Amino acid sequence: MLCRVAEKTSSDQAPTRQICEKHGKTAPLVFAKVRQLPQIERYMAKISGPLIDRIDLHMEVPAVPYKELSAERAGTSSAQMREQVVAARAIQATRFTGVNTRYNAHMSSRLIRQFCKLTPPCQELIKASVNDLGLSARAHDKVLRVARTIADLEASDAIDENHLSEAINYRMLDRQMWT
């Protein structure tokens, strides 16, 4: 987010860390007053619809407090994550043998129907998401591609409700103003 800092002799734009208090997320004011809700809504209206549909993953990433950054904790290492990605790509290479596609992200609608079979509970979940969030056909397909990738990262043959729920949660901008 950018905010405009105006002084007597000049006007500059600088990034700010403050988020509108109306959305329940605040951080220290760094440079100046941030844009108010109407300006945020105008910005969201400009990037909504077809543009947002073309973004596979979108979500809010809150600032991490220094205490957490400096703490020594065990997490997934880059090497471990790389192994998972390599394994998932191998699964995809096997899946798409003889098909003019290499990765889940490039699946056509026909391939999505073929390789993203959903159980009845998953079908209900995606149906509710389409109806409640107003997902477009493009967003629906992107959710299924992402769910298939999440399942591949876990070496799962089938997309389960957890995979689908996680993929739906990556569609934050489809929700009105992250509510």
pLDDT in tens, 120-163: 999 999 999 899 888 888 989 999 999 999 999 999 999 999 99
Structure confidence at residue 7 (pLDDT):
39
Do 27 and 19 touch, CB atoms closer than 8 A? yes
Question: Is there a single domain that holds both residue 91 and residue 174?
Answer: yes
Inter-residue long-range contacts of 9-13, CB under 8 Å, 24+ positions, other chains counted: none
| Model pTM above 0.75 | no
Identify which has the larger pLDDT, 25 or 47.
47
User: Tens digit of pLDDT for each residue in 55-99?
Assistant: 888 777 788 888 888 778 777 889 999 999 999 999 999 999 999
Do 28 and 63 touch, CB atoms closer than 8 A? no
Question: Is there a single domain that holds both residue 96 and residue 168?
Answer: yes
Question: Is there a single domain that holds both residue 91 and residue 36?
Answer: no
User: Tens digit of pLDDT for each residue in 1-44?
Assistant: 443 433 344 444 444 444 444 444 444 444 334 556 677 777 77
Domains identified in the chain, total number: 2
Question: Is there a single domain that holds both residue 39 and residue 98?
Answer: no
Question: Is there a single domain that holds both residue 33 and residue 84?
Answer: no
**36 domain-assigned:** yes
pLDDT-derived band at 106, boundaries 50, 70, 90: very high
Identify which has the larger pLDDT, 44 or 168.
168
Question: Is there a single domain that holds both residue 39 and residue 84?
Answer: no
Identify which has the larger pLDDT, 176 or 65.
65
Question: Is there a single domain that holds both residue 89 and residue 170?
Answer: yes
**125 domain-assigned:** yes
Question: Is there a single domain that holds both residue 86 and residue 156?
Answer: yes
Question: Is there a single domain that holds both residue 38 and residue 90?
Answer: no
Question: Is there a single domain that holds both residue 41 and residue 86?
Answer: no
Do 82 and 76 touch, CB atoms closer than 8 A? no
**115 domain-assigned:** yes
**Nearest Cα to 137, choosing from 115, 172, 109?**
109
125: containing domain: 78-178
**68 domain-assigned:** no
